[in-house]
Amino acid sequence: MTFSIAAADPSTEEVGVATQSKFLAVGAVVPWARAGVGAVATQAFAEITFGPRGLDLLAEGLEPQAVLDRLLGADERRDERQLGVVDARGRSASYTGPGCFEHAASVTGPNFACQGNILASDRVVPAMAEAFDATAGQPLADRMLSALRAAQREGGDRRGQEAAAILIHKPGGSYGGTFDRYIDLRVDHDDEPIEELSHLLALHQLYFDHSRQGELITADPALEAEIAEILKVRGKLTSGQDVWQALEDHLGWENLEERWAGRGRIDPCVLAYLRDQAAGRDPLP
């Protein structure tokens, strides 16, 4: 009663899993990832230890298919298991046991492994793979979300919707850059969990992503004056206070400190956020 995609983007060193299921808090069961190693999705009659054990085997140098063979070889319930594995190089493998309830299937390709069971149709899993391929060049999280949406458009889980999650690791990808857990978002119980997951992802991208150096805006006197006026109206700039120090303080207050670009420059997402605040619009996605 679950569909998932394990995926990698070797160009950004990202690995992760996205999943949806008619199962409470599916994000606590299916997705596993480790930066520089790979990602594992364990589902159907899920054996949770396949997650960390699979990552350990990838870290030892085994290819994804060999990881599947090792995990399932001595498993008495392998006919009921479903497992997807991708390594940091983009090699992939997926297994669907013959005892999984229809529709159940696996589709693999470069940088992804898609799998699902108890599905509305035999188009659900192929649609995930097609959506992932069609969004090449986009951020990995967006591609994985597109795969979930494509699966849902084909009917998704035959029992309905309940929970969704996305987990991505990359080296130094965490808040503050000291850990590898880049994105870890869960919707544990909702009528439309994929769309709620999309909303959470948009918030995550606002708060924690960084614009590229070439996208940062160098403030001329007019823009600096505009920023100062916005901060003043919002009570965040006092008489004689340095505008850039006030902006840095405000970004920290708004949980946008990861987007601080330094004195004299501003992230375009921050500028849009400030202008929305000034216009009385909701600045959040």
Domain limits of the chain?
2-208, 213-278
Q: What is the pLDDT of residues 171-208, one digit of tens each?
A: 999 999 999 999 999 999 999 999 999 999 999 999 99
Residues 240-268: what's their mean pLDDT? Answer: 97
Q: What is the pLDDT of residues 47-78, one digit of tens each?
A: 999 999 999 999 999 999 999 999 999 999 99
- Per-residue model confidence (pLDDT) at position 258: 94
pTM, 2 dp: 0.94
Which one is the CATH code of 2-208: 3.40.50.1980, 3.20.20.70, 2.40.160.10, 3.60.20.10? 3.60.20.10
Write out the DSSP string of the chain.
Answer: -EEEEEEEETTTTEEEEEEEESSTTGGGTSEEEETTTEEEEEEES--TTHHHHHHHHHHTT--HHHHHHHHHHT-TTGGGEEEEEEETTS-EEEEE-TTSPSS-EEEEETTEEEEEESBSSTTHHHHHHHHHHHTTTS-HHHHHHHHHHHHHHTT-BTT---EEEEEEE-TT-SGGGSSSEEEEEEE-S-SSHHHHHHHHHHHHHHHH----GGGPEEP-HHHHHHHHHHHHHTT---TT--HHHHHHHHHHHTT-GGG---TTEE-HHHHHHHHHHHTT-----
- Give yes or no for residue 1 having a pLDDT over 90: no
